[in-house]
Structure 1
Amino acid sequence: MEPVPFPVFEAAVQVAGQALYWRNSLRQIMRNAGVSENGYEKYSEASKYQIFRNVWDDLDRAGSPGRKVQYKLVAALADLEKADSKVPDLEAGNASIRNLRLLAKRENILVSPQDLAREQRRQAAALRAEEQYAKRAQLAQLSEIFNSLHSEPDTQKRGYAFEKFLAALFRWAELDYHGSYKTETDQVDGAVVIDAFTYLVEARWRKSPAADAELGGFAHKVERRIDATRGLFISMAGFREEAIGLYRRAKENRLILVDGADLAIILEGRLDFTDALRAKVNAASVQGEPYVSVASL
């Protein structure tokens, strides 16, 4: 942070001496800006002009932290609406405020509320654009990893890599994800929290579509948990139609089904991952449909 230009400092001294009547007003401004109680009190018997100069010198010796306080002092004095009505020369007091405000703006120490709001909007937009670019780049990397898994000949190695890929995808979507774990009764590939519901995750990368027996085994894991638990079954090869039909007609279904085609569309950036899962949950809740293709969304 650059030092406050000398003309701005001198203008601030004049405001302290001419626009403020009570020493306590200067004391309060200094305290609000970050000057310690002792930093003010040791000069409290001096004139307001000299109090300001002495405190300023102390802030100079404090280095960068002191400089930040100096900027705050200038801004606070320039922000005064008008001089105190009891000052000996009201016109001179008001003129000192206008002069400080003019110099501070010229040196970009003080900006108008409109300019500040405009700059904050510009910075926020730039930050959003940067974040969106980073998210797209991360999604592109995930897509490359996903595509590379198709050429992995070792099915066991590919299965482990698929679980790691899904964990990275959940993190990219900023979802609370817990990796694979074992209990005394079963093993779970992972768990993710979506809209206050915990979803157990089952990840399969096999040549044939998942059949009723596989879905049933996973559904049993889910049913052993409390009612707020659901299941997210991810099968790269999809699901046998008769298996989907069974859960479509089931009295109670707590499974959401995702296939490789769904993942491919999400990785292309055509639909947000979390939005896709919510749409599938909505279809299961409203229509009783355990599987809805992301392509149809």
Structure 2
Amino acid sequence: MADLTFIEKTKLEKLLGMGGGYVLDFSNRTLEEFVRQSVRKNIYDEVYNYASGSKANRIRAFWDREPNSVVGKLLADLLEYREFSNPSRDEESKRLYQDCRRIAERLSSGCAVGQASTTTSEPVLERPSAREQHLVALGQLKAELEALFVQPDRQEAGLKLERLLNRLFSLFNLAPRRPFELVGEQIDGSFELDHEVYLLEAKWERKPLREKELLVFRGKVEGKSSFTRGMFVAMNGITQEAEAAIRVGKQPTFFVITGHDLMMILLGSLPFDEFLRRRRRLLAEEAAVTAHFDRVAQ
């Protein structure tokens, strides 16, 4: 098992683009070939079949099963490929890349956490910064979300998702309120962004949601004040028919986010509060109920 901390894993996953099950731009075939050439291992061996079996989950299983030297070698090769195919341009990306290089060097040299690699003169920070503590908290939420994907009791998974969202709101100081009841209706919760209140609804169905649940939520939002907005978490998205239905004849008052959006946020790809502000702007300017994360993050 490789000696990796939560912070280190979070940094590596962000740099390697492991949100949504991916690893950089690899296909199943090219990832298998790359790993085999790098460390003479078959990443599609059953021993690496963790959770959904996605490319990202197989790399996570590889980290958990292989020793420091092997993981360090593969990471060094992945980082070299990443920098060749998509060089770091802004200062934050460059710092993240250098941090990940030091992680790979430490593992390759056999050093444990907290020990400096002999290949670098960079000091090892013993006390995590506020940003690193924030990344740890995001990493913990991400691990919990991944576990929910394979939770056999889907009703229990839905309840745990609500609690996870509440903690995510708290992490970004969004003043969350837990689920509450009004006369004749149940509200999954609410939060506050820039002094504006948003109602929350979360559904985790196996297929994209149809219009029924969304129309009910629209009624809940419209039944409050004229300035109330909403956020609907549909883990597997919504159908095109549903999106069209909630826009017919009315201005949309809420936007939809997906499980992919959540995973990218928990990977640290975009701060949650900034993500919400950009979604709010798209809703106001374009009546965009849905928007792919890549578009929001650009």
Shift of residue 227, structure 1, vs aligned partner: 1.0
Quick one: distance in 1 between partners of 2:188 and 2:198?
Answer: 11
Q: 2:224 is paired with a residue of what secondary structure? A: coil
Shift of residue 294, structure 1, vs aligned partner: 1.5
Shift of residue 148, structure 1, vs aligned partner: 0.6
- 2:255 is matched with which residue? 256
- Could you list the per-position Cα deviations for residues 118-155 of structure 1 after superposition, in whole angstroms to 9, with x for gaps in the alignment? xxxxxxxx9xx721111011111111011010110001
The answer as to whether partners of 1:262 and 1:295 remain within 8 angstroms in 2 is no
Quick one: distance in 2 between partners of 1:153 and 1:272?
Answer: 30
The answer as to whether partners of 1:205 and 1:235 remain within 8 angstroms in 2 is yes
Shift of residue 271, structure 1, vs aligned partner: 0.7
The answer as to whether partners of 2:218 and 2:246 remain within 8 angstroms in 1 is no
- 1:295 is matched with which residue? 294
- Could you list the per-position Cα deviations for residues 247-293 of structure 1 after superposition, in whole angstroms to 9, with x for gaps in the alignment? 34543210111011111111111111111111111011011211112
Task: State the one-letter code of the partner of 1:272.
Answer: P
Say what the alpha-carbon RMSD is for the aligned residues. Answer: 1.7
Q: 2:291 is paired with a residue of what secondary structure? A: coil
The answer as to whether partners of 2:192 and 2:198 remain within 8 angstroms in 1 is yes
Quick one: distance in 2 between partners of 1:174 and 1:294?
Answer: 22
- 2:157 is matched with which residue? 158
- 1:230 is matched with which residue? 229
Quick one: distance in 2 between partners of 1:143 and 1:262?
Answer: 12
Q: 2:141 is paired with a residue of what secondary structure? A: helix
- 1:27 is matched with which residue? none
- 1:178 is matched with which residue? 177
- Higher helix fraction: Structure 1 or Structure 2? 1
Asked which structure has the greater RCO (Cα within 8 Å, sep 6+), the reply is 2
Quick one: distance in 2 between partners of 1:292 and 1:165?
Answer: 22
Give 5+ residue unaligned stretches, structure 1: 1-125
Task: State the one-letter code of the partner of 2:173.
Answer: E
Quick one: distance in 1 between partners of 2:155 and 2:136?
Answer: 28
- 1:245 is matched with which residue? 244
Task: State the one-letter code of the partner of 1:171.
Answer: S
- 1:217 is matched with which residue? 216
Quick one: distance in 2 between partners of 1:294 and 1:246?
Answer: 22
- 2:266 is matched with which residue? 267
Shift of residue 232, structure 1, vs aligned partner: 0.6
Map 1:139-150 onto structure 2 (within 5 A).
139-150=138-149
Structure 2 length-normalised TM: 0.55
- Could you list the per-position Cα deviations for residues 17-56 of structure 1 after superposition, in whole angstroms to 9, with x for gaps in the alignment? xxxxxxxxxxxxxxxxxxxxxxxxxxxxxxxxxxxxxxxx
Which 10-residue stretch deviates more, 160-169 or 242-251? 242-251
Report the count of equivalent residues: 171
- Could you list the per-position Cα deviations for residues 86-125 of structure 1 after superposition, in whole angstroms to 9, with x for gaps in the alignment? xxxxxxxxxxxxxxxxxxxxxxxxxxxxxxxxxxxxxxxx
- 1:114 is matched with which residue? none
- Could you list the per-position Cα deviations for residues 139-193 of structure 1 after superposition, in whole angstroms to 9, with x for gaps in the alignment? 1111101101011000111111111111111111111100001111200000111
Sequence identity of aligned pairs in percent? 29
- 1:278 is matched with which residue? 277
Structure 1 length-normalised TM: 0.55
Map 1:1-297 onto structure 2 (within 5 A).
130-297=129-296
- Could you list the per-position Cα deviations for residues 206-231 of structure 1 after superposition, in whole angstroms to 9, with x for gaps in the alignment? 10111111100010011110112111
Quick one: distance in 2 between partners of 1:217 and 1:249?
Answer: 14
